[in-house]
């Protein structure tokens, strides 16, 4: 996947803050005090909100895990794409399928080209997530992570799902992939250093063929600080 550089997702916010940071209650004059209070609450929420990206090669379990987290009420930032929905990765909870004409009308903070199709994350979706949600989630690869980490700084963390080679192949077979498809996905992961993603990740969750999915979910919830969703014995 190739990512193209865009202006920072917080660019609009920085402009707003830079233009208003000199204002005080006294300096605002006719502005109501509630404006100052709202501005403080707004910026305070932005600075404490987190966006987590799930990382890992194809069949590492990112979308399954994201679905479980969404069921618990965690906000998900969707990916827009021009590709045609297929049997795999066609869930509209994760993707917004649009035409190329509609795609190029949007303001994306990250834009991806993959196999001739375009993928993107909307700037407004990222800004909305930071403003309205304490914790949000999205799916990206290493290139997208580098861009968002640069833009979001401390508001952004990554969780790498480390799955062994054999388990990945077993999962692809269960997904119905043919040998040619399995070879393609493994070679793509190798060529794009997806197996090395743990080195730069904020957090790593190790997964083996016999790992209980609930254990993986609990580890991710603990990373996010969502102790209220953990079983009592793990929340201590």
Q: Could you read off the pLDDT of 193-224 as tens digits, one per residue? A: 899 999 999 999 999 888 888 899 999 999 99
pLDDT higher for 186 or 18? 186
Within 10 angstroms of residue 181's Cβ, the number of other Cβ atoms is 14
Which of the two residues, 6 and 218, has the higher pLDDT score? Answer: 218
In a domain, 159, yes or no: yes
The whole-number average pLDDT for the span 118-125 is 93
Instruction: Tell whether 96 is covered by a domain.
Output: yes
Phi-psi region of 88 (alpha: psi -120 to 50; beta: other; left: phi over 0): beta
CA distance 59 to 185: 9
Q: Say if 156 falls within a structural domain.
A: yes
Q: Do the domain assignments include residue 195?
A: yes
pLDDT of 162: 96
Measure the CA–CA gap between 165 and 148, rounded to whole angstroms: 28
Q: What is the mean pLDDT of residues 157-178?
A: 94
23 vs 136, which has greater pLDDT? 136
Tell me if 207 is assigned to some domain: yes
Range of the domain at 142: 2-21+50-229
Contact predicate 162/56, CB 8 Å: yes
Please report whether residue 35 resides in a domain: no
**What is the longest distance spanned by two Cα atoms in the chain?**
70
> What is the pLDDT, as a whole number, of residue 211?
85
Higher pLDDT, 14 or 156: 156
Q: Please state, in angstroms and rounded to a whole number, the distance separating the CA atoms of residues 68 and 122.
A: 23
Does residue 22 carry a pLDDT above 50?
no
Residue 235 lies in a domain: no
| 63-120 residue pLDDT tens | 999 999 999 999 999 999 999 887 556 678 899 999 999 999 999 998 877 778 898 9
User: pLDDT > 90: what percent of the chain?
Assistant: 52
Query: CATH number for the domain including 183?
Result: 3.40.50.300
The answer to the question of residue 190 being in a domain is yes
* Structural domain count, the chain: 1
Residue 173 CB partners (closer than 8 Å, separation 6+): 182
């Amino acid at each position: 996947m190739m990512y193209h550089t865009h202006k920072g997702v917080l660019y609009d916010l920085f402009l707003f803050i830079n233009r208003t940071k000199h204002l005080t209650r006294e300096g605002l004059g006719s502005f109501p005090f509630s404006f100052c209070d709202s501005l403080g609450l707004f910026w305070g929420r932005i600075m404490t909100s987190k966006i987590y990206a799930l990382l890992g090669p194809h069949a590492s379990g990112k979308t399954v895990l994201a679905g479980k987290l969404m069921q618990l009420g965690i906000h998900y930032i969707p990916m827009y794409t021009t590709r045609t929905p297929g049997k795999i990765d066609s869930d509209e909870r994760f993707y917004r399928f649009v035409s190329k004409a509609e795609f190029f009308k949007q303001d994306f903070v990250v834009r991806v080209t993959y196999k001739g199709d375009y993928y993107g994350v909307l700037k407004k979706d990222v800004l909305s997530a930071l403003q309205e949600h304490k914790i949000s989630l999205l799916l990206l690869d290493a290139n997208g992570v580098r861009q968002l980490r640069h833009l979001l700084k401390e508001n952004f963390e990554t969780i790498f799902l480390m799955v062994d080679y054999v388990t990945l192949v077993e999962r692809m077979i269960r997904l119905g992939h043919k040998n040619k498809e399995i070879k393609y996905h493994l070679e793509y992961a190798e060529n794009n250093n997806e197996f090395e993603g743990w080195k730069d990740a904020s957090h790593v969750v190790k997964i083996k063929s016999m790992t209980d999915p609930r254990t993986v979910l609990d580890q991710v919830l603990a990373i996010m600080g969502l102790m209220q969703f953990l079983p009592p014995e793990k929340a201590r």
